[in-house]
Structure 1
Amino acid sequence: MRTPAAVFWCLLLLFPVQRIVRVDAFTGTYGINYGRIADNIPAPENVVSILKAIKIKNVKIFDSDHGVLKAFKGSGLELVVGLSNDYVKEINSSEDRAMEWVKDNVQSWLPDTKITGIAVGNEVLGGETWSWKRPSYKSDPEHINLSYALFLPNAGIVDPKTNLHYDNMFDATIDAAYTALEAAGYGKMEVEVTETGWASSGDEDETGATAQNARIYNFNLRKRLFKRKGTPLRPKVVMKAYVFALFNEDLKPGPGSERHYGLFKADGSISYDIGFSGLSNLHTSSSPSTQKEFYAGGWLAPNSLVLFTCIWIAVHLYVRY
């Protein structure tokens, strides 16, 4: 039996033909998640202005809210919309319902709103969706070096099976996904990171969730992605990622860190400076960041929830409209 994702993608390719347009799901290497579980963040129209000012073109949302789709119309920003978990089983059980959803939330908005992909479900395990969720990273003070997690200078590790050297946890996580895909017979599939981030604050027991660590991680992640290189296992496949997240979201449930992943605060000011051009024209900014400022060694404290990464298998779409 085909998975819900496989069914959905097949249906997406069956629109009545007027013309076929190749949709490239990612421009460049850097994107951002625009979550809206909050009651105090800027309106979608203002969000478009912020994204243009900081020159982020790739954006992923977790639903297909028509107010957001309207705000992005004519902006040139490339948008991945989300099929919420509530709809996954419904879409899988009815081809007519799937076609209706695609027409209402994708086809009718093209080409003015540049929708480049659909994320089917969010953080759902057990084969229900096509994304692989790496749970929030909790430290192991005996084995995991903070510098290894933050892209800072460190001795790294050598994979005993491949003899490949890794100097950061991000690349190691991606290659773990590639290894799993290859073992399952899908060695030619491309992997993209749909969510990766570091909380700038959290509960008392989340000692790694600090503004300094979040600043270091996101600065170095951006620097790593802009090098346009692959991983040790797939050196020719340029790595792409959506950072989590654009805003702190005050209504998110769970531990305190869940409400502090944003590069921006709810009022539109930056949470910390990672060197985006254009930020100073919009909001108050701290002094420019340098790599020297970001060096911090040491080991992660016990039980500090700081980092998570969510990976999907990238598929280039041919969308008919």
Structure 2
Amino acid sequence: MATLRSLSFLRALVLLFSFSDLFVSTLSLGVGINYGQIANDLPSPSRVAVLLKSLNISRVKLYDADPNVLSAFSNSNVDFVIGLGNEYLQTMTDPVQAQTWIQQHVQPYLSQTMITCITVGNEVLTGNDTQLKSYLLPAMQTVNNALSNLGLSREVYVTTAHSAGILANSFPPSSGSFRQDLAEYIQSILNFHSQTNSPFLINAYPFFAYKANPDQVSLDYALFQPNPGIQDPVTNLNYDNMLYAQIDAVYSAMKALGHTDVQVKISETGWPSKGDPDEVGATPENAALYNGNLLRRIEENQGTPAKPSIPIDVYVFALFNEDLKPGPVSERNYGLYYPDGSPVYNIGFQGYLQHIDYSASGEKNAVFSIFALLLISFAFFL
């Protein structure tokens, strides 16, 4: 009898931990997350590592190369994109400076933290600084050459992130084109991507299009909600959401410049849960629909109508609300989580996006609860 009870106890333990794993694995969707830190109330990087591990999120994009974050994620199997801010572009055109930066900010962490991408600059081409635009490609090339010199170019690729504002036309997607004043820069950057087999990154926000023209842009179309969709008159492909149309517009624009060999990835997309009075649609309900529906499509490995065999690759913006970001209220309210680890809204995985108590007492209580459950189970089966 004791043996049978012991076996039953072991089975119960297996079921218990299997059930726990089920919660975690459900969110293993291959989605990336942007981890911004323009805030004064965020949890420590080590606590963020615990949160992301609980969600089974294994791809993180930073806007810098914060050593505290990279150290906190040692041996975590999280794949990192790190960033060189626009303020570094001129410096990074110097081969010595670029190699020194990599030796100081990348090499020391590679043995324990996976860094697979460096983004050089962010939305440079849609800014007003012409000098900065001229530095962008040389900085990308110099950083890539420095990686090659250090034997790291197969491990770490180089790219940059663009605003969707680089498009002159985005609909119909088959007629997508880049702004004429930016074509020269983009052509050279596409040549770089083709040579290095690196992706073209776009920050795409259907929210902006809806906010700008809510009377003409369908909210359901922007939020991946059921709708008749819009047909591309050239290809006869039907688009039931704006994000996929934006992605295919970029592919068309690249094709017009002679490139069909570069993959488009979404380095930022999201929807704010709060905004100013004139920021139509910035609500928790809409944010939950946008991100929740997007996650489900990623889970289904969907491609766009023009590229159905290439699953969309997305980094959601953002992990936390960031209270120090300048600009309209929406800028501070893109987070999936509040800084205390509680979700801003339910995106359909509420059971898995559990609140994490970052206090010492909370951690002790969690451990105590697990042991209590095991002891109760043990007593029952004895």
Q: TM-score range by the shorter chain?
A: 0.7 to 0.9
* TM-score, length of structure 2 as denominator length: 0.64
d(CA) in 2 for partners of 1:178, 1:198: 23
In structure 2, list runs of 5 or more residues that go unmatched: 1-27, 127-132, 138-159, 166-207, 358-382
Equivalenced residues, count: 256
Identify the structure with the greater helix proportion: 2
Equivalent residues in 2 for 1:114-263 (5 A)? 114-126=114-126, 127=133, 128=136, 130-134=160-164, 136-137=208-209, 138-263=211-336
State the alpha-carbon separation in 1 of the partners of residues 30 and 101 from structure 2. Answer: 29
CA distance in 1, matches of 2:68, 2:355: 26
- Sequence identity of aligned pairs in percent? 48
Greater CA deviation, 32-41 or 181-190? 181-190
Three-state SS of the structure 2 residue aligned to 1:98 is helix
Tell me if the contact between 1:41 and 1:268 (Cα under 8 Å) persists in the aligned partners: no
Structure 1 gaps of 5+ residues are 1-26, 284-321
Could you tell me which amino acid in structure 2 is paired with residue 266 of structure 1? P
Q: Does 1:86 align with 2:96?
A: no
CA contact (8 A) 1:29 1:228 kept: no
- 1:145-170 per-position Cα deviation (integer Å, ceiling 9, x unaligned): 00000001111111122221100001
Cα offset for 1:211? Answer: 0.5
Partner of 2:67 in structure 1?
66
SS of residue matched to 2:90: helix
Q: Secondary structure at the match of 2:326?
A: coil
Cα distance in structure 1, aligned partners of 2:339 and 2:107: 32
CA distance in 1, matches of 2:272, 2:116: 28
Structure 1 letter corresponding to 2:105: N
Distance apart, 1:65 and its partner CA = 1.0
**Aligned to 1:198, what secondary structure does the other structure show?**
coil
Letter in 2 for 1:91: M
Structure 2 residue matching 1:108: 3-state secondary structure: helix
Contact 1:29 1:239 in 2 (8 A): no
Q: Do the aligned partners of 2:214 and 2:280 also contact (CA within 8 Å) in 1?
A: no
**Contact 2:342 2:355 (8 Å CA) reproduced:** no
**Per chain length, whose mean CA-contact separation is higher, i.e. which structure has more relative contact order (CA < 8 Å, sep 6+)?**
1
CA shift digits 1:34-74 (9 cap, x unpaired)? 00000001100000000010111100000001111111111
Following superposition, the deviation at residue 281 of structure 1 comes to: 5.8
1:86 is aligned with what amino acid?
A: E
CA positional deviation for 1:131: 2.5
Aligned-CA RMSD value: 1.7
Q: Cα distance 1:198–1:281, how it changes in 2: closer, same or farther (>3 A)? A: closer
Q: Distance in 2 between matches of 1:214 and 1:194?
A: 18
**What TM-score do you get using the length of structure 1 for normalisation?**
0.76
The one-letter code matched in structure 2 to 1:118 is I
User: What is the Cα deviation at residue 28 of structure 1?
Assistant: 5.8
Q: Hey, what's the Cα distance between the residues in 2 that align with 1:208 and 1:235?
A: 29
2:280 pairs with 1:280 = no
**Residues 108-132 of structure 1: CA distance to partner in whole angstroms, max 9, x if unpaired?**
2112011111111112225546322
Task: Decide whether the 8 Å contact of 1:45 with 1:71 is kept in 2.
Answer: yes
Q: Quick check: which one's strand share is greater?
A: 1
Inter-partner Cα distance in structure 2 for 1:105 and 1:28: 29
Q: Match for residue 95 of structure 2?
A: 95
Contact persistence 1:175–1:231 (CA under 8 A)? yes
For residue 82 of structure 1, what is the amino acid of its counterpart? Answer: G
Q: Which residue is 1:303 aligned to?
A: none
